[in-house]
Structure 1
Amino acid sequence: MKNLHVKLLALILIVLSATITFYKVTELKLPLMPVEEADLWTVEAKVTYKASPGPSKVTLLLPKQVPGFILLDENFVSGRYGLTLEDNDLNRIGQWAVRRSKGEQTLYYRMQLIPGEKEKFKDKTPTYPQPVEYPEIMRTAVTVLLEEVRSKSADIKTFAHELLIRLNEPNADDNIKLLRTEATTPRAWVQREISILQGANIPSRQVNLLVLTDGARHSKLVPWLQVHNGQRWLAFNPKTAESGFPANAIIWYYGDAPLLSVIGGKSEKVDFSVYKQSQGMAALTQQRAGKINPKIMGFSLFNLPVQTQNVYRILVMVPLGALLIVVLRNIVGLKTFGTFMPILIGMAFRETELLWGLFLFSVLIALGLMIRFYLEYLRLLLVPRLAAVLIIVIILMTLLSLLTHKLGIDRGLSIALFPMVIIAMTIERMSLVWEEHGPSEALQQCAGSLLVASFSFLIMTNALLEHLMFVFPELLFMLLACTMLLGRYTGYRLSELWRFRSVILKG
């Protein structure tokens, strides 16, 4: 009955741990592998204008959706201005207003992005354009051009590609030269192409891109062309006819409306600044997941202060060392001094490195053991003897640190990180085993402790395991379940099977 109770409880813990981890990986997109750094893009739009005496109202079109990127944060620096945000079809509108202003005014909009899986882009299904009434001088040129392009294309994509090639070819005929008149700016040229596509009854629109270039200042938006093929929007370079968007480009807004408009001012201007920095991928991913589900991510370890985070990065690894000790002692049958002493020694090895840690620990135990044998002749009581051993351990650690420092061995200074109380208890325990069971048993337990401490060090310093335990602390439930199941194991240990191998072979 008790076995069934433990198994059911362990099953519940495993299912709970696996469910939370699966949700974080699939829905919140938390990484399973430790990625050191990721690119964080910061985009800043600086709005300047000269205000007239009296009230002013500034309207700036803002991104509503950023396909291919994940918006981590945005903020507005507006001083004494009031701010309102509105949704307008596929765009957002930011409006600053102030009752009284005068002279040069500056406003800022800043957002932070990281590359990521494309969000579910909510686009609208276009309606077919109304017939266009071209000027008399352009009507014939448009009709001839559309007929020539239609004969050399098979669908809307190839039609748009062929049309853009014809419109931008260097050796243009008279019809193309006529269509290029009065379309001298990039925005005007895109609108001219849209007008021609309307003559072919093809839905099209202008999108305005910001190309992310690290260190860019005074950047401007680039107009781009999109054509609908009946199923989805296709992007084209309006100058070269290349399909798709440029690398590291974001859609700032859709349509041909002005990016910035000011009421109560003049000489308005928008400058874009872009810079890239590398930050820890795990922290950025946690921040992104907090946007998706802030309730769950509110309990993330990343919300703790950085100093506390560093502590928990070590603490969450201790259960892995505890599970290792359970396996090595209950399943393998290794003997150690104390239950969790090897874990603490393994944690100390994080600062000393493994080989230096083993050497310093062995020297410390050997010297302490010799002095402990001397104390035996003094016939001290238990508590004073333990206090004396502790003081001796501190003296030895101090002398070893001074000696290694004099010799120029800086690694020896890390001996101060060893758990002195645990070492004192280890020396006391080893001396008792030495007296009661002989030096062979004492040395075996000492070797077993060092072996387990080495394995604990290798596990607790594994980058993948540290990442998993810190980002997915719910895995602690799974470790608890495994420990409970191992706690009900009453079979033979591997060391016992090896010890009685002759009997087993005869049987």
Structure 2
Amino acid sequence: MKRLHLTLLVLGLLATSLALVVYKVNVLGFPLKPAQTVDNWVVEARVAFEPSGGALTARLALPDDPPGFGILDENFISRGYGLTTAQQGENREAQWTTRTPSGRQVLYYRATVYELNRERPAPPYPGPVSVPDYDEPYRSAALALLDSVRDRSADITSFASVLVSDLNSPAPDENAALFIQRNASDADKVRTTIELLAGARIPARMVHGITLTDWARQAAPLAWLEVHNTREWVPINPHTGTAGYPDNFLVWWYGDREPLLVDRANRPEISFAVTRNIHDAIDVAEQRAQLMDSRVVDFSLFGLPVQTQNMYRVLLMVPVGALIIVLLRNVVGIQTFGTFMPVLIALSFRETQLLGGIILFTLIVSLGLAIRFYLEHLKLLLVPRLASVVIVVIMLMAGISILSHNLGIEQGLSLALFPMVILAMTIERMSLVWEEHSPADAIKQGLGSLAVAAVSYLIMINRQLEHLIFVFPELLLIVLALTLLLGRYTGYRLTELLRFRALKAP
């Protein structure tokens, strides 16, 4: 039962940790690599008009959950205007109102968007549309064209694609040529296609959007076609008939309408501009979590003050170092002084660097051990003896720092970062092993402690690992699970296999 309990506990820890990590990566977009950036675009709509007198209302179509993108932030620049946003049919609109405008008016809408591929709820099927009442000869040509397209298509999507291809063919047949207008705009082409699709009772609509580029002062909206295949709206290129939107195409509004509608105003104008930015992926993920009202970020380390965050970037690596010690002691069989002393020494190596830290640690422990042997002759009690060792260690650290500074060796200044109490306990423990066992055992454990500290340091300074632990602290549950599993390890240690290799059967 106890073994089953441990197994269930470990599986629960692993499942919880992995579930949180997968959610934060796939849903919120937290990066798995340090210093990772995310592309986003700032799109701006500039609205200008001249009031003609009286109360004024200006309505602007806004992006609303555009496919393939998410909206991080929105700003409205409209001093002196009342502002409301509401859903009007298929579009979301901003409505500016004012009572007594004077002079030319300029309003701005600005949004920050980023790529976001997610499952969208399936829209309801609008049902078959009514067949238009074509006049002759358009009626006969439309029916003949639709019959020809139907024979060469397999479903609604391919029907629309074949029809668009026929209308854009360099050598159209006589039926398609009747509906082709010379120098027709994209919107005119889409209108013609929608009218012909209605002859086959296929629901279709016009979509307007802009292409997100690195920089565009004047981004012209593009008209696109969408048809409903009874399950979802499928975008169709009005020039080629291919399904799908082009890369970086931001859907702005739906329907055959103008994006800007202004009452009591002359010469209304609207222009679009685009610029590309690069933001830190973590900042974007935090904003995304706020927009999604996710409670996960409320319990993240990013809400702490920066100084506290920097402290936890170091502290969160201690469990990793503890796991390394458990592995090296219980599986490999390396002997050390104490359990956590190598981890604390490894943390000190972060400032002193590895080689300098090993030299300083060896020097201070050697000098302290000599002083400890001298104190043994004074026959002191345990607590005063430990206190004396701490005092001597601090004096030695200060003396070495002063000497190294005068010699121009700046690494010696970081000696103050060594945990002095741990150094004192190491000296005391080493002296006891020296007296009770042998100098060889004391030196072996001292070298083992340095080796474990060095391995822990090399792992704990890994930038990728530090990033993962700080951004996904739930990974410590995996560290805990592995530690619990190693706590039940009762097999041979690697050093014991070498030690007793002579007993191996021939």
1:207, 1:225 within 8 Å by CA — same for their partners in 2?
yes
1:395 aligned partner: 399
Farther-moved stretch of structure 1 (243-252 vs 45-54) = 45-54
| Alignment gaps of 5+ in structure 1 | none
1:137-286, aligned counterparts within 5 Å? Answer: 138-171=138-171, 178-181=178-181, 184-286=184-286
Shift of 1:249: 1.1
2:43, 2:111 within 8 Å by CA — same for their partners in 1?
yes
| Alignment gaps of 5+ in structure 2 | 379-383
Distance 1:65 1:237 in 2: 21
1:369 aligned partner: 366
2:295 aligned partner: 295
1:301-450, aligned counterparts within 5 Å? Answer: 301-351=301-351, 353=353, 357-366=354-363, 369-370=366-367, 373=370, 382=385, 383-400=387-404, 403=407, 417-419=417-419, 422-423=422-423, 426-427=426-427, 429-430=429-430, 433-434=433-434, 437-450=437-450
SS in 2 for 1:166: helix
Shift of 1:247: 0.7
1:67-78, aligned counterparts within 5 Å? Answer: 67-78=67-78
Pair 1:122–1:210, CA change in 2 (3 A): farther
* Residue deviations 1:372-395 (CA, integer Å, cap 9, x gap): 626865878733442232122133
SS in 2 for 1:334: coil
TM-score (norm 2): 0.83
CA RMSD of aligned residues (A): 3.7
1:57 aligned partner: 57
Distance 2:198 2:408 in 1: 83
Farther-moved stretch of structure 1 (420-429 vs 70-79) = 420-429
Shift of 1:300: 1.8
Shift of 1:176: 5.2
Distance 1:253 1:152 in 2: 32
Distance 2:119 2:77 in 1: 27
Shift of 1:402: 5.5
1:212, 1:249 within 8 Å by CA — same for their partners in 2?
yes
1:104 aligned partner: 104
* Residue deviations 1:219-262 (CA, integer Å, cap 9, x gap): 12211012233444332221232332111112222211221112
2:33 aligned partner: 34
Distance 2:14 2:283 in 1: 21
2:20, 2:474 within 8 Å by CA — same for their partners in 1?
no
Distance 1:506 1:200 in 2: 86
One-letter amino acid of the structure 2 residue matched with residue 91 of structure 1: N
* Residue deviations 1:264-283 (CA, integer Å, cap 9, x gap): 43333333332333334344
Pair 1:22–1:494, CA change in 2 (3 A): same
TM-score (norm 1): 0.83
Aligned counterpart for 1:18 among listed residues 2, 10, 15: 15
Distance 1:413 1:277 in 2: 43
1:262, 1:268 within 8 Å by CA — same for their partners in 2?
yes
Distance 1:305 1:80 in 2: 37
One-letter amino acid of the structure 1 residue matched with residue 390 of structure 2: L
Pair 1:131 & 2:131 matched: yes
1:364, 1:397 within 8 Å by CA — same for their partners in 2?
no
Distance 2:104 2:83 in 1: 19
Aligned length: 496
Distance 2:398 2:52 in 1: 76
* Residue deviations 1:451-470 (CA, integer Å, cap 9, x gap): 11122123323455434433
One-letter amino acid of the structure 2 residue matched with residue 323 of structure 1: L
Pair 1:441–1:458, CA change in 2 (3 A): same
* Residue deviations 1:309-365 (CA, integer Å, cap 9, x gap): 333222222111112223333444322233322112222333555xxx134422452
2:48, 2:107 within 8 Å by CA — same for their partners in 1?
yes
SS in 1 for 2:299: coil
1:21, 1:472 within 8 Å by CA — same for their partners in 2?
no
* Residue deviations 1:125-171 (CA, integer Å, cap 9, x gap): 12222121234464454345434444544443343233222322345
Pair 1:428–1:362, CA change in 2 (3 A): farther
Shift of 1:200: 2.9
2:215, 2:276 within 8 Å by CA — same for their partners in 1?
yes
* Residue deviations 1:388-445 (CA, integer Å, cap 9, x gap): 321221332344355456xxxx877766654455446545654565566444223212
- Overall identity of the aligned pairs, in %: 43
